[in-house]
């Protein structure tokens, strides 16, 4: 009971209250636009669990967020803010598309090769930002934002120049041998795009824990995150740790992109803007307190909200961007937990008073 | 030579918005508050300018309506930045995270309200009344320079004046000294009776006002409407200009010219040179961002941020 209380008081209360406050802010925004928030949230919920197809598609929407959430959280643990997950995600997509489209190999080589190449693309893109920080002192936030835009246009260039039929706005389809969908689950969910990436995402949640808390490397990564000066004094190579952390973070991000291509779309489009999973990953990581289980739960929440937002515009006529406001507000309250505690204070102190009276 | 004048002219158009935003970022960061939210502040300014100017035009204000748009952007920028200020200064939240939140909220909110106001369209209607270029008599007749510098939008003249005023305020007035002291060493500033929170609020709100105007500049001179891609990273480039310009009003202006030039080069080269059409467009789109990176790599070691940048001030920890 004691431990339960401790968990509830410290780590769970703020996220839960933040989610509620975020939904309230969304409701206020909807009321100000003359929409019915209750109907909207109801249609959101119905969309998410309405049918096997929608449930499958919700899982599809959650999967990339697990990867990007892990990517952001991993870098956070080393004291780095990897805002460049977006670009690493795009590089992962591109790597997988290149291997998937260009090569023609047996399935047991083709699929794994595409996954590995995509992940490494993402990892190297992140390591570049890490290297610039370690070697030149460039703030990783600024450099990775610039790398996000560069990745977007580089990916568009590669797709339009080498991987697409002339005049097409997307690449040729990746070969069947590299495609990662789970056929029996697809049938079971009325053609929802289910793929092996979801399983790998769950494995990555476990790997995240093992790397950070069960290996010497992970100890170093966390030590640098806690106090780089102390880590340096203890004989750790801080610069190398920074690059390593960004590389692993980028691997997670790249994997997210890989499965959007190999599991969901089967090709890569020429994008006007990046897909946004990387930025949502920041939200997921913050809400999850940078813990593996927290990231999983955060991804389920935000994936559900994002997928359900389509139902809101369909069922209640609310523009689906309202979900961005809800998500933004939730992170705002998680980050500014001082505000949440401030709001909770009257309730908490009343309870404390009662407890005192009882005693 | 005529082309050179045009190149300078287009450079100025692109740089103006960057200077506004970077100048805003300077006030915030000089007071010790990191402002990753410049992008979001520009988005809210661009949105408010489009809506404000549109409503003013419908109310029959005619040529005055872009000015009303500018005013709306200023107010909207300040309001959004207040969110940043309350969270980071009063409640001592992580400044980078709050900045990211501002970016998410501003873009989501702006598109949401655009859809609400304009029957589901994700883009505001094309404004009929926007700023037009003003030629300065006599000076604009000078070859090259005249076309380059003295035939510009009113916002460009405003921002140049603001740079000079800001430099004066920051380095020659008691207010500027206090603002800088709060960013360099808040506890010392507090000891001599300077209200740290007050100066940081002013710094952040100034950043909201100026970045809002920067966003408005893009709407009212370049795009004539607001959509999700109106700003597309300009706020982040402004942030880079701020760092490259060493948190100095003249430095950041120079850096913003440089980035504006990189953007102007794209349209300019494609219009005027055959070889440029051979290069894939994507590389021209990449150019400003890659140049920013290169410049940061070359320059960052030598620039020094305000010492207390990014640290919430907590008097209890003195």
**For B37-76, what is each residue's pLDDT tens digit?**
999 999 999 999 999 999 999 988 888 899 999 999 999 9
CB-CB contact of A142 with B236 (8 Å): yes
Q: Which of A288, A324, A327, A331 to mutate to test the interface with B (most CBs of B within 10 A)?
A: A324
CB B95 within 8 A of CB B72: no
Query: Among A43-47, A62-66, B123-127, B280-284, which range has the highest average pLDDT?
Result: A62-66
The top-scoring range by mean pLDDT among A6-20, B79-93, B257-271 is B79-93
3-state secondary structure of B63: helix
From chain A, pick out residues whose CB is under 8 angstroms from the CB of B100.
Answer: 83, 279, 282, 331
Whether A272 has its CB under 8 Å from any CB of chain B: the answer is yes
* Helix, strand, or coil (residue A147): helix
Residue B167's domain spans which residues?
A: 2-133+144-313
B286:A143 CB<8 A:
no
- Mean pLDDT, range B118-134, rounded to an integer: 86
> What chain B residue is nearest to A131 in terms of C-alpha separation?
B297
Between the CA of residue A30 and those of A299, A312, B192, B197, what are the distances in Å?
24, 11, 47, 33
Residue B318 lies in a domain: no
Q: Write the DSSP symbol of residue B124.
A: P
Residues 96-135 of A with CB under 8 A from B: 132
The residue among A124 and B310 whose pLDDT is bigger is A124
Beta-carbon separation of A150 and B232 below 8 A: no
B283 vs A152: CA distance, rounded Å: 11
Phi, psi of B124 (to 5 degrees): -75, 155
Asked if B312 and B88 touch (Cβ cutoff 8 Å), the reply is yes
Contact (CB, 8 A) for A349 and A38: no
As a whole number of angstroms, the distance between CA A333 and CA A208 comes to 26
Residue of B nearest to A335 (CA): B93
Global confidence as pTM:
0.88
Tokens of B64: 């005055």
- What is the structure's pLDDT at B303? 62
Flag if A150 and B107 touch (Cβ within 8 Å).
no
Residue B159 forms part of a structural domain: yes
Of A19-33, A58-72, B135-149, give the lowest mean pLDDT range. B135-149
Question: Can you give the pLDDT at residue B159?
Answer: 95
Tell me which range, A184-188, B63-67, B177-181, is most confidently predicted by mean pLDDT: B177-181
Q: In this model, does residue A37 exceed pLDDT 70? A: yes
In whole angstroms, how large is the CA radius of gyration of chain B? 20
Q: What pLDDT sits at residue A165?
A: 85
Beta bridge partners of A269: A170
Instruction: Name residues whose C-beta falls within 8 Å of residue A319's C-beta, 6 or more positions apart in sequence.
Output: A33, A313, B111, B112, B115, B116, B120
Helices (H), chain B: 2-30, 38-58, 65-85, 95-117, 145-149, 154-172, 174-184, 186-191, 196-217, 234-244, 249-272, 274-278, 281-299
**pLDDT tens-digit series, residues A259-306:** 999 999 999 999 887 888 988 898 899 888 899 999 999 999 999 998
Query: How confident is the model at residue A1, as a pLDDT?
Result: 41
Fold of A62-308: ABC transporter involved in vitamin B12 uptake, BtuC (1.10.3470)
Q: Please give, rounded to a whole number of angstroms, the shortest distance from the CA of B154 to a CA of chain A.
A: 30
Estimate the share of chain B in helix, then strand, then coil, as percent rounded to the nearest 5. Answer: 75, 0, 25
Please, which residues bridge with residue A195 across strands? A181
Report in angstroms the alpha-carbon separations of A178 from A60, A64, A89, A106, A112: 18, 18, 18, 9, 8
> Would the CB atoms of A327 and B104 count as touching at under 8 Å?
yes
Encode pLDDT of B251-303 as tens digits.
Answer: 999 999 988 888 888 777 777 777 777 788 888 888 888 888 888 888 755 56
In this predicted structure, the answer to whether residue B111 has a pLDDT above a threshold of 90 is yes
Residue found under tokens 């003003």: B134
Please give the residue of chain B at the shortest CA–CA distance from A323.
Answer: B108
Nearest CB neighbour to B289, from listed A29, A146, A336: A146
Task: Pick the residue of B95, B293, B299, B305 with the most A CBs within 10 A to test the interface with A by mutation.
Answer: B293
Contacts of residue B93 in chain A, CB cutoff 8 Å?
Answer: 335-338
User: Which SS3 state, helix, strand or coil, does residue B210 take?
Assistant: helix
Q: What is the CATH number for B234?
A: 1.10.3470
Closest of B101, B108, B67 to residue B84, by C-alpha: B101
- Residue B66: predicted pLDDT: 92
Q: Is A35 left (phi over 0), alpha (psi -120 to 50) or beta?
A: beta
With contacts defined as CB-CB under 8 Å, which chain B residues touch A81?
96
Distance from CA of B281 to the nearest CA of A (A): 8
pLDDT at A198 over 90: yes
Total number of residues shown for chain A: 359
Q: What is the pLDDT of residue B312?
A: 85
Q: Mind listing the pLDDT tens digit for each residue in A304-358?
A: 998 998 888 888 888 888 988 998 998 899 888 888 888 877 776 666 666 666 6
Cα nearest neighbour of A331 on chain B: B101
The answer to whether position B91 is within a domain reads: yes
Task: Share the mean pLDDT of chain B.
Answer: 89
pLDDT at position A7 over 60: no
Total domains, chain B: 1
Tell me the torsion sign for CA atoms A183, A188, A190, A192: negative
What residues does each domain of chain A span? 62-308
Residue B139 forms part of a structural domain: no
pLDDT number for residue A279: 83
Closest chain B residue to A154, measured at CA: B282
Of the candidate ranges A204-208, A243-247, A271-275, the one whose mean pLDDT is the lowest: A271-275
Residue A4 has pLDDT above 60, yes or no: no
What is residue A210's three-state secondary structure?
helix
Please state, in angstroms and rounded to a whole number, the distance separating the CA atoms of residues B201 and B207: 10
Instruction: Give which of A18, A145, A339 to mutate to test B binding, by max B Cβ within 10 Å.
Output: A145
User: Cβ separation of A321 and B87 shorter than 8 Å?
Assistant: no
Query: Taking CB atoms and an 8 Å cutoff, what residues of chain B touch A142?
Result: 236, 239-240, 243, 292, 296
Q: Which residue has the higher pLDDT, B279 or B210?
A: B210
In this structure, of A69-73, A238-242, B122-126, B309-313, the range with the lowest mean pLDDT score is: B309-313
Q: What is the pLDDT of residue A8?
A: 47
Whole-number Å distance between alpha carbons of A138 and B296: 7
Q: Between these two residues, A232 and B279, which has the higher pLDDT value?
A: A232
Rounded-to-integer distance, Cα B147 and Cα B18, Å: 21
Interface test with A, best of B100, B109, B124, B303 (most A CBs within 10 A): B100
Contacts of B107 in chain A (CB under 8 A): 324
Q: At what angle do helices B281-299 and B249-272 cross, to 10 degrees?
A: 160
- Mean predicted confidence (pLDDT) in B190-209: 95
Task: Please list every residue in chain B whose beta carbon sits closer than 8 Å to the beta carbon of residue A143.
Answer: 293, 296
**Cβ pair B18, B234 in contact under 8 A:** yes
Name the pairing type of β-strands B151-152 and B134-135.
antiparallel
pLDDT of A80 over the 50 cut: yes
Average pLDDT of chain A is 88
Which of B93, B95, B231 to probe the A interface (max A CBs under 10 A)?
Answer: B93
When pLDDT is averaged across residues B140-147 and rounded to a whole number, the result is: 74
CB distance A298 to A284 below 8 Å? yes
> Taking a C-beta distance cutoff of 8 angstroms, is the pair B109, B48 a contact?
no
Q: Does residue A115 register a pLDDT over 70?
A: yes
């Amino acid at each position: 009971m004691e431990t339960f209380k401790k968990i509830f008081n410290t780590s769970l209360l703020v996220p839960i209250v933040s989610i509620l406050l975020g939904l309230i802010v969304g409701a206020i925004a909807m009321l100000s636009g003359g929409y019915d928030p209750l109907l909207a949230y109801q249609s959101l919920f119905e969309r998410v669990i309405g049918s096997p197809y929608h449930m499958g598609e919700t899982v599809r929407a959650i999967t990339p967020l697990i990867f990007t959430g892990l990517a952001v959280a991993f870098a956070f643990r080393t004291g780095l803010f990897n805002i460049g997950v977006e670009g690493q995600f795009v590089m992962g997509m591109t790597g997988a598309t290149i291997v998937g489209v260009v090569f023609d190999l047996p399935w047991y080589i083709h699929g794994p090769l595409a996954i590995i190449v995509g992940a490494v693309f993402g990892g190297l893109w992140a390591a570049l930002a890490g290297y610039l920080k370690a070697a030149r002192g460039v703030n990783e936030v600024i450099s990775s934002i610039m790398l996000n835009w560069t990745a977007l246009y580089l990916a568009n260039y590669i797709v339009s120049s080498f991987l697409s039929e002339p005049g097409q706005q997307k690449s040729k389809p990746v070969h069947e041998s590299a495609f990662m969908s789970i056929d029996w689950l697809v049938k079971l969910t009325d053609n929802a795009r289910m793929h092996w990436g979801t399983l790998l995402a769950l494995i990555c949640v476990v790997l995240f824990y093992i790397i950070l808390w069960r290996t010497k490397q992970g100890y170093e990564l966390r030590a640098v995150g806690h106090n780089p000066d102390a880590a340096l004094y203890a004989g750790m190579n801080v610069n190398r740790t920074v690059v390593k952390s960004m590389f692993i973070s980028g691997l997670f991000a790249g994997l997210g992109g890989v499965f959007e291509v190999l599991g969901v779309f089967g090709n890569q489009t020429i994008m006007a803007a990046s897909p946004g999973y990387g930025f949502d990953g920041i939200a997921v990581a913050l809400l999850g307190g940078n813990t593996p289980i927290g990231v999983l739960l955060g991804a389920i929440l935000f994936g559900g909200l994002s997928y359900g937002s389509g139902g809101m515009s369909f069922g209640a006529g609310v523009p689906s961007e309202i979900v961005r406001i809800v998500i933004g507000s939730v992170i705002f309250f998680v980050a500014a937990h001082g505000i949440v505690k401030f709001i909770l204070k009257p309730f908490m102190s009343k309870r404390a008073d009662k407890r005192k009276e009882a005693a | 030579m005529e082309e050179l004048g045009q190149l300078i002219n287009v450079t100025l158009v692109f740089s103006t918005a960057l200077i506004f935003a970077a100048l805003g970022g300077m006030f915030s960061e000089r007071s010790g508050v990191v402002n990753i939210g410049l992008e979001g502040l520009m988005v809210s300014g661009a949105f408010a300018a489009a809506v404000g100017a549109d409503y003013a035009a419908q109310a029959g204000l005619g040529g005055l309506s872009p000015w009303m748009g500018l005013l709306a952007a200023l107010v909207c920028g300040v309001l959004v930045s207040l969110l940043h200020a309350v969270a980071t200064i009063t409640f001592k939240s992580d400044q980078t995270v709050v900045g990211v939140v501002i970016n998410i909220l501003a873009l989501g909110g702006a598109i949401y309200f655009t859809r609400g106001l304009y029957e589901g369209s994700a883009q505001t209607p094309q404004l009929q009344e926007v700023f037009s270029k003003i030629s300065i008599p006599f000076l604009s007749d000078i070859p090259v320079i005249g076309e380059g510098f003295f035939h510009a939008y009113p916002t460009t003249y405003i921002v140049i004046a603001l740079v000079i005023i800001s430099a004066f305020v920051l380095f020659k007035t008691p207010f500027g000294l206090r603002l800088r002291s709060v960013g360099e060493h808040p506890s010392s500033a507090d000891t001599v009776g300077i209200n740290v929170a007050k100066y940081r609020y002013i710094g952040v709100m100034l950043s909201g006002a100026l970045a809002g105007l920067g966003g408005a500049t893009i709407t009212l001179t370049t795009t004539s409407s607001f959509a999700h891609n109106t700003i597309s990273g300009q706020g982040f480039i402004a942030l880079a200009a701020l760092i490259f310009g060493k948190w100095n009003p003249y430095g950041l202006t120079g850096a913003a010219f440089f980035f504006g030039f990189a953007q102007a080069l794209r349209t300019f080269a494609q219009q005027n040179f055959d070889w440029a059409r051979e290069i894939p467009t994507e590389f021209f789109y990449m150019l400003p961002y890659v140049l920013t990176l290169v410049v940061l790599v070359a320059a960052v070691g030598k620039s020094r941020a305000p010492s207390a940048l990014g640290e919430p001030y907590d008097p209890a920890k003195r």
